Chains A and B, each alone.
Chain A
């Protein structure tokens, strides 16, 4: 019985970004990827999934603006994702950071 396999092309579904916008996105998401990683290590997969869904919100918004996404658009999208999804940010102003709570 031959094993049927379906090939997935993730790159084809990525929104097109200019190099500057891509750099801004990668820089911005590093923190949240790290938080998701710590959540998963603490076996809190639901919160990590929530976090990933919110980070992917950037990609969803990128598909609604002209392609390739400019750095200016990316800045607007990143700030609105942070506000709209109220992503937690590490620091003294946010002592209830779930990652800090998990690792304590």
Chain B
């Protein structure tokens, strides 16, 4: 019996590079059952499978939805996470979605950030950084990301702290995310205008192709 494919975060970057190197679209679906541990929805992985074209993706998801409709009370499925790695243009585009049997013909785009507490997605410094990163269209300087995240932080939990405090905490959040998240990609660009001789350029790999063009035929 073949075993399912577990797609893990640390493989995202490698899979993206692979799909871009071969100009291919690929992706995976992870099927999850009701959580085995409280508050950990991803604790019960049932099966994982890769797909290599939009048709194959629709086949796989469609047959599972059909199964869930035929057995509405006993299907034993909780949700599915869907990843798409689109390298057809030679550049890397990443997508993540959440699918549930109750709303089978729709899925919901996910913002991907591991350092972001999902229960505290909006009222935390990593959450502000993630929103600033996802609003970009290309790699920008790390200090620019912080500058753009500052108004978000001030608006969401600004009272009682100075802008300097927010800036320091945002910088810390960004540094942590750059070191822990495979989807946040940073690169040092040499520059004569910086005292250190370089700028750190940061981007989130989910910013490309926000309109999900991989889904259309």
Contact = CB atoms under 8 A, between A and B. Distances in A.
A6 B47 contact: no
B4 interface: yes
Contact of A10 (B58, B109, B122): B58
Interface of B: 1-4, 31, 33, 46-47, 49, 54-56, 58-65, 67, 70-71, 74-76, 97, 103, 105-109, 122, 212, 215, 217
B76 A60 contact: no
Interface of A: 1, 3-10, 12-14, 33, 36-37, 40-41, 43, 45-50, 52-53, 55-56, 59-60, 63, 98
Nearest to B63: A52
Interface class of chain B by DSSP? mixed
Contacts of A55: 63
A60 B63 contact: no
Contact of B61 (A8, A14, A36, A46): A8
A3 B108 contact: yes
B22 to A, nearest CB: 19
B55 A60 contact: yes
